[in-house]
């Protein structure tokens, strides 16, 4: 063994070698900033701006790619791919930044490849005027490029909240970002309303996401409110179709943003081959210059609505968009709700406006200073001409003017450079009028700089201008979930008996009962164990309660089948849970009969009917599924008539035994319930469980005459028992 080899802690190695790379990917590559752009997008757009492509004619894409390499050290192909996504030809953005000519492929097609950069041409779209508004007035900070030879903006001024107007996806190290797009007009209205009233409900102004590929948003208010509030959550988008009864075919013209026409066709062909669908004769891609079109030929007598519902269920014609509004704020990644994003954008935009005002103020003061010098020589302009004419050396002209008229060097230089042709009455009067105008302008700017209300009025005016110039009608239609026939979807689902296994480490698997006959032993991680095992069937509904007082709902057929040798679905990823959110308890039901019992650290217990969690949707997030004012310590589903004894233990080692019949039924999900055990301030319940599993010996010693009660100290026989939480079983 080599004695020169030194041992090093893996944590030190990660800090030294891995962390700098991870931070670089997060900050300098994958996560968008408050202007809605990643560094690669910003560098490319700024290069095009400096090339004069905002107002000029188109140039070859290869030319832009080459120039961008001064700011972006990546290869030409990576830069060109970045450009492709931003073009109006690709149709990936609701409001594209690049006006393109040539073949740039399509967002909705994976096979339609873009042409090489030497064949295509580009310039900046008009909306980029708003992204670069006043950038030459030092409104944003500039930094050195990678080799220190050129300056580039750290952010673009973005006169509208582009961060919410165009989609953005990115995968960094240990984190990701996924922002959906919203209608420009709605975003502007929401921002203006927020400036007027910080307490607004964003959902009153922002109807829902809007995608360049159109489709139909399945609107669920609770889901969207959660996304607006936390920046996390999901919603479903389905394809838009029309029926040609005469020619007996269905035409799909708009699809979910997250899929492609080829994926949809392959999925449907697979169903036909597996004989899952008998009503389709043929399917073909008829996309042309007019846009996307997938045509499905159907057999006579086909119930189109039932067929489409089956396709929505089994193919990418209906897909979920999972939101993760992870944004860089001052270099720090933050997951934000819509209102928080707009608040940070307003803060950023206010700084831009103030920088612009300070720039104008400085220029106006400089100009006024020159004109005030001119005003002084107008007292005796003939004397000024005489001094210049009689001065022997050119270098003495400025000092002589300074002495004669009490001017500083800047003023004297300005006057010395005035041409003789300008020494006429008209020119002089215009300059004197300009002094008054500049003085008024300076005073107005100084008042504005001291008034946030005036700055917000400027931002409001700019947003209204952007809305008027660039807003377009919604492309994604909205359909309320109440109008979606969920029952017709379930009709097409195969029915069979299955068993659900839920583990302590948040794995969930669904195994058909037939498969369990030959495979009994369940594969788990070394430290994991099954805490719930439920026999049910494939069409039942699943409710998953989390430690954040959320309930996640889905039907079991939406879960893939597993084998005993699989770990199953990892719920934090499958449900896109928050970083510190975990599932505590699951319920499987057909009829939503029964009651949920909840116990809390503060000694209160609640009973609510399970039917308060019943919805018409396929999958839904229910916020405030139970009261979150105190930590949950117990959760259980019971029959309406079922009752049993429970034991409660506090951190003071006080115990109380009671029957669940004492818990009053409430019909509100987040009810606080009733007090069962009285506890002092600072104390809390550490254990609540059915009496039969509580391992107490002196049971009757803890049963009070009335509820609520303070409980009794654990007896000597029970004081040595080990406390186990319900969720550790």
Residues annotated as catalytic (active site), given as ranges? 119
Q: Among candidates 712, 615, 724, 607, which has minimal Cα distance to 669?
A: 607
Length of the chain: 729
Closest by CA position to 678, among listed 642, 648, 714, 700: 648
Within 8 A by CB and 6+ apart from 71, the residues are 43, 46, 47, 145, 146, 150, 152
Q: Give CA–CA dist 184/206, Å, rounded.
A: 10
In the chain, what is the greatest distance between 2 CA atoms, to the nearest angstrom? 119
- Going 411 to 414 to 416 to 420, the CA torsion angle's sign is negative
Q: Residue 576: which of 257, 149, 240, 227 has the closest Cα?
A: 227
Contact at 8 Å (CB) between 536 and 499?
yes
d(CA 345, CA 564): 50
DSSP 539-574: T-EEEEEETTS-EEEEEGGGSPB--TTS--EEHHHH
Contact 397, 391 (CB under 8 A): yes
Helices (H) and strands (E) in the chain, counts: 20, 33
Kindly state the DSSP code that residue 708 receives in the 8-state scheme.
S
DSSP 7: P
Q: Which helix (H) or strand (E) holds 645?
A: strand 645-650
Calculate the dihedral angle through the C-alpha atoms of 391, 393, 394, 400, rounding to the nearest 10 degrees: -40
- Distance from C-alpha of 183 to C-alpha of 474, rounded to nearest angstrom: 6
Going by C-alpha positions, the residue among 647, 643, 644 that lies closest to residue 701 is: 647
Tokens 């509580």 -> residue? 694
What is the C-alpha separation between 32 and 40, in angstroms, rounded?
10
Q: Where are the beta strands (DSSP E) in 125-277?
A: 142-144, 151-153, 168-171, 176-179, 216-219, 232-238, 240-244, 249-254
Helices 338-377 and 452-470 cross at an angle (nearest 10°) of 110
Distance CA 225, CA 501 (A): 31
Instruction: Indicate the DSSP class of residue 338.
Output: H
Indicate the DSSP class of residue 16. I
Bond prior to 630 in cis (omega within 30° of 0):
no
């Amino acid at each position: 063994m080599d004695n020169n080899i030194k041992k090093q802690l893996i944590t030190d190695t990660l800090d030294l070698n891995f962390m700098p790379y991870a931070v670089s990917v997060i900050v300098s590559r994958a996560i968008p900033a408050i202007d809605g752009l990643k560094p690669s997008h910003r560098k490319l757009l700024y290069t095009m701006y400096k090339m004069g492509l905002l107002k000029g004619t188109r140039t070859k894409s290869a030319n832009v790619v080459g120039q961008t390499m001064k700011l972006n050290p990546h290869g030409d192909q990576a830069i060109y791919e970045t450009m492709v996504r931003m073009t109006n030809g690709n149709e990936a953005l609701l409001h594209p930044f690049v006006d393109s000519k040539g073949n740039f492929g399509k967002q909705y097609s994976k096979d339609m490849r873009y042409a090489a950069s030497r064949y295509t041409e580009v310039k900046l779209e008009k909306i980029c005027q708003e992204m670069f508004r006043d950038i030459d007035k030092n409104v944003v900070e500039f930094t050195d490029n990678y080799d220190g030879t050129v300056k580039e903006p750290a952010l673009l001024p973005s006169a509208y909240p582009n961060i919410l107007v165009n989609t953005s996806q990115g995968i960094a190290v240990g984190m990701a970002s996924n922002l959906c797009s919203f209608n420009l007009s709605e975003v502007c209205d929401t921002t203006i309303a927020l400036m007027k009233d910080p307490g607004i409900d964003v959902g009153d102004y922002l109807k829902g996401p809007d995608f360049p590929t159109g489709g139909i948003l399945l609107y669920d208010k609770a889901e969207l409110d959660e996304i607006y509030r936390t920046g996390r959550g999901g919603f479903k988008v389905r394809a838009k179709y029309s029926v040609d009864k005469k020619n007996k075919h269905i035409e799909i013209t708009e699809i979910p943003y997250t899929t492609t026409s080829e994926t949809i066709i392959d999925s449907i062909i697979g169903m036909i081959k597996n004989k899952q669908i008998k009503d389709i004769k043929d399917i073909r891609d008829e996309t042309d210059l007019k846009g996307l079109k997938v045509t499905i030929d159907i057999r006579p007598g086909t119930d189109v609505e039932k067929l489409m519902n089956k396709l929505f269920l089994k193919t990418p014609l209906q897909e979920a968009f999972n939101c993760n509004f992870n944004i860089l704020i001052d270099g720090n990644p933050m997951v934000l709700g819509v209102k928080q994003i707009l608040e940070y954008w307003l803060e950023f935009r206010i700084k831009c406006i103030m920088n612009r005002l300070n720039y104008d103020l400085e220029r106006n003061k400089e100009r006024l200073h020159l004109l005030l010098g001119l005003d002084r020589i107008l007292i005796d302009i003939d004397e000024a001409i005489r001094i210049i004419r009689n001065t022997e050396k050119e270098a003495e002209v400025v000092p002589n003017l300074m002495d004669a008229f009490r001017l500083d060097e800047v003023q004297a230089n300005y006057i010395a450079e005035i041409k003789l042709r300008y020494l006429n009455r008209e020119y002089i009067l215009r300059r004197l009028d300009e002094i008054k105008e500049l003085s008024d302008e300076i005073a107005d700017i100084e008042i504005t700089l001291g008034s946030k209300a005036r700055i917000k009025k400027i931002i409001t005016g700019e947003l209204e201008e952007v809305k008027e110039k660039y807003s377009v009608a919604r492309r994604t239609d909205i359909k309320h979930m109440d109008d979606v026939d969920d029952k017709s979807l379930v009709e097409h689902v195969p029915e069979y008996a299955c068993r659900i296994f839920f583990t302590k480490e948040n794995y969930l698997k669904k195994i058909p009962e037939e498969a369990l006959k030959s495979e009994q032993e369940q594969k788990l991680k070394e430290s994991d164990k099954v805490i719930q095992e439920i026999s049910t069937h494939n069409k039942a509904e699943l409710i998953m309660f989390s430690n954040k007082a959320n309930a996640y709902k889905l039907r079991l057929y939406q879960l893939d089948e597993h084998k005993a040798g699989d770990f199953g679905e990892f719920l934090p990823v499958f449900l896109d849970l928050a970083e510190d959110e975990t599932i505590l308890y699951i319920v499987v039901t057909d009829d939503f009969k029964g009651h949920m019992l909840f116990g809390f650290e503060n000694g209160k217990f609640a009973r609510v009917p399970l039917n308060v969690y019943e919805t018409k949707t396929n999958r839904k997030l229910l916020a405030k599924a139970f009261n979150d004012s105190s930590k949950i310590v117990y959760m259980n589903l019971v029959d309406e008539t079922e009752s049993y004894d429970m034991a409660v233990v506090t951190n003071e080692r006080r115990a109380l035994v009671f029957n669940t019949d004492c818990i009053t039924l409430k019909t509100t999900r987040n009810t606080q319930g009733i007090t069962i055990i009285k506890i002092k301030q600072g104390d809390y319940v550490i254990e609540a469980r059915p009496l039969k599993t509580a391992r107490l010996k002196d049971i009757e010693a803890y049963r009070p005459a009335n509820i609520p009660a303070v409980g009794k100290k654990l007896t000597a026989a029970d004081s040595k028992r080990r406390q186990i939480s319900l969720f550790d079983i």
